[in-house]
């Protein structure tokens, strides 16, 4: 069986783990000196085996612009993966980044910043030198032919930090009942309080912010249409009306998205965040009824609650792809959908509310390929993950899951140990893993009490101590009197997993098979829900 691979997506987390051989690259800043009209500072902010992060600071020294396009060439096979505050396209070594909907205006002397995570060949990572803005090479010299504006143009909302998803073309087959059209002339002021969510959200005025994958909002309205108020240039969403997905929104930006031409009746609406964004928050502002309609009281929360904790398997990394190499079909993010993961499907089949507390590439004590110093436990309790202003999520009394499903350990054991890591042998790593896992279960018990069932899952990772370590953790808890901790093995062969998702991850079909196995297992537990 090919190895299970879970790509590390955190440029922040790995910045301190780079070896001395590449340390100089971490602070490399190149000011492009190639032509008139603009200036570019290109900074490699972090670098690790196979990947790196970079920031680009663009200054317009020419005429004011309402839209911009920055191009450059990589000369050593580098590939842009996730990019934020812009839209990226790459052909060979040629990279083109265009503005988003809110940062296209660049007055004379104004700047725009964006960043990205990418891959490199582990041998050289030279900075580009041929930057051009709207086709004009960047020399750092101004060539203004019209007077500069006396007041700065609007710049839109401030950029958020950290890599959101890869760019890709939006869907071309929008359903006929879901078309983005202008909002009504006088909509009532929307509020996220009109909808129900159990997700980890932070209130910002009448809106809420969030980062965790699979966060969803559910509401009700009477009428022929509904508008969904969003401010998110980083994530993808599914829009569902009466249980049917009517649209996929690809990095919608600041907008009110309208679903129209419905029958005049009472409808349910559900908005789901499909993608991961540990460094960038989405923002939901509520619902607006079409003229003649009204937003109704939010639906009641479900009595059943499940919390899913894990890594890329739980987050839905590349699960919509039908090929393991996703470089030619839109990239990982365009192929990810947290709402059809095994966790979401299991919860939906049991009519349960759920959270997906998942982050690709992070492990219990060791991240994928040994990258970084932070691990999943660093961020488990946060509201907005790695955002600069993230803090501990204040768990409301209404969130008391009867079941917690944990899937951690793939990243700890799926790659070989490297020189310089704090473990010399897999046995040492396994011992540290077990100790940390037991401590993590102590935290869950303190958080949710003795009655919550906790299921520790693990996949086929033969030749590693993952299975024996998880089983030993369960035995230790049971021997100590905690009889509501169980383990569940996902057997690749018995389940028939194809792992055709991006980078050998579970496919959508695999998620359905795993959900079936998990649901059957849950049926054997004496849950009183």
Give CA–CA dist 489/249, Å, rounded: 35
Compute φ and ψ for 403, nearest 5 degrees.
-140, 135
C-alpha separations of 432 from 363, 435, 489 in Å? 12, 5, 21
Give CA–CA dist 350/306, Å, rounded: 10
Catalytic residue list contains 312: yes
Instruction: Give the three-class secondary structure for 455.
Output: strand
Task: Answer yes or no: are the C-beta atoms of 390 and 382 closer than 8 Å.
Answer: yes
CB atoms within 10 A of CB 74: 19
Task: Answer yes or no: are the C-beta atoms of 39 and 59 closer than 8 Å.
Answer: yes
**Residue whose token pair is 């947290």:** 338
Give CA–CA dist 521/529, Å, rounded: 15
Among candidate residues 15, 277, 312, 336, the one labeled active-site is 312
**Could you write out the three-class secondary structure of 28-86?**
CEEECCCCECEEEEEEEEEEECCEEEEEEEEEECCCCECCCEEEEECCCCCEEEEEECC
CA atoms within 13 A of residue 220's CA, in its CB half-sphere = 9
Give every CB contact of residue 251 below 8 A, 6+ residues apart in sequence. Answer: 87, 100, 164, 165, 167, 232, 233, 234, 235, 236
Instruction: Give the three-class secondary structure for 91.
Output: strand
DSSP strands (E only) in 103-252:
111-119, 132-133, 136-137, 202-204, 207-210, 216-223, 226-232, 236-241, 244-250
Task: Answer yes or no: are the C-beta atoms of 279 and 212 closer than 8 Å.
Answer: no
Task: Answer yes or no: are the C-beta atoms of 272 and 203 closer than 8 Å.
Answer: no
First to last CA, the chain: 39
Catalytic residues: 312
């Amino acid at each position: 069986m090919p190895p299970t691979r879970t790509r590390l997506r955190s440029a922040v987390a790995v910045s301190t783990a780079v070896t001395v051989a590449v340390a100089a690259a971490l602070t490399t800043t190149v000011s492009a000196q190639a032509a008139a009209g603009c200036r570019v500072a290109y900074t490699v902010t972090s670098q690790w085996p196979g990947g790196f992060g970079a920031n680009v600071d663009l200054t317009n020294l020419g005429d004011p612009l309402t839209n911009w396009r920055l191009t450059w060439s990589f000369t050593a096979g580098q590939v842009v993966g996730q990019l934020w505050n812009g839209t990226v396209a790459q052909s060979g070594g040629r990279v083109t980044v265009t503005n988003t909907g809110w940062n296209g205006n660049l007055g004379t002397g104004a700047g725009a910043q964006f960043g990205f995570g990418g891959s490199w060949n582990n041998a050289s990572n030279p900075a580009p030198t041929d930057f051009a803005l709207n086709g004009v090479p960047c020399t750092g010299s101004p060539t203004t032919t019209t007077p500069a504006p006396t007041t700065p143009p609007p710049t839109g909302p401030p950029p958020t930090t950290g890599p959101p998803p890869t760019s890709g073309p939006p869907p071309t087959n929008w359903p006929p009942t879901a078309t983005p059209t202008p909002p009504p002339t006088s909509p009532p002021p929307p509020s996220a309080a009109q909808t129900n969510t159990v997700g980890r959200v932070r209130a910002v005025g009448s809106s809420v912010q969030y980062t965790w994958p699979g966060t969803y909002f559910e509401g009700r309205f009477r009428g022929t249409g509904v508008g969904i108020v969003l401010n998110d240039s980083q994530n993808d969403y599914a829009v569902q009306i009466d249980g049917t997905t009517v649209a996929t929104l690809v990095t919608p930006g600041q907008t009110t998205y309208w679903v129209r031409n419905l029958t005049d009746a009472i409808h349910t609406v559900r908005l789901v965040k499909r993608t991961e964004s540990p460094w960038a928050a989405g923002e939901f502002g509520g619902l607006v009824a079409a003229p003649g309609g009204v937003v109704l009281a939010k639906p009641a929360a479900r009595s059943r609650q499940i919390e899913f904790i894990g890594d890329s398997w739980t987050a839905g990394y590349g699960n919509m792809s039908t090929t393991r190499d996703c470089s030619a079909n839109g990239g990982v993010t365009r192929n990810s959908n947290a709402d059809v993961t095994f966790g979401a499907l299991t919860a939906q089949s049991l009519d349960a509310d759920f959270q997906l507390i998942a982050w690709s590439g992070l492990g219990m004590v060791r991240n994928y390929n040994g990258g970084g110093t932070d691990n999943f436990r660093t961020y488990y309790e946060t509201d907005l993950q790695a955002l600069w202003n993230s803090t501990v999520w204040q768990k409301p009394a209404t969130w008391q899951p009867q079941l917690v499903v944990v899937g951690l350990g793939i990243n700890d054991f799926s790659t070989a140990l490297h020189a310089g890591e704090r473990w010399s042998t897999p046995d040492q790593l396994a011992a540290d893993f077990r100790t940390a896992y037991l401590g993590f279960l102590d935290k869950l018990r303190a958080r949710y009490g003795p009655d919550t069932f906790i299921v520790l899952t693990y996949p086929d990772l033969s030749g590693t101590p993952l299975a024996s370590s998880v089983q030993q953790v369960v035995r230790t808890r049971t021997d100590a009197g905690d009889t509501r901790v169980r383990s569940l093995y996902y057997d690749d062969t018995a389940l028939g997993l194809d792992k055709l998702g991006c980078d050998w991850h579970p496919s959508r079909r695999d998620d359905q098979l795993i959900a079936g196995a998990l649901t059957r297992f849950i049926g054997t537990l004496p849950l009183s829900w």
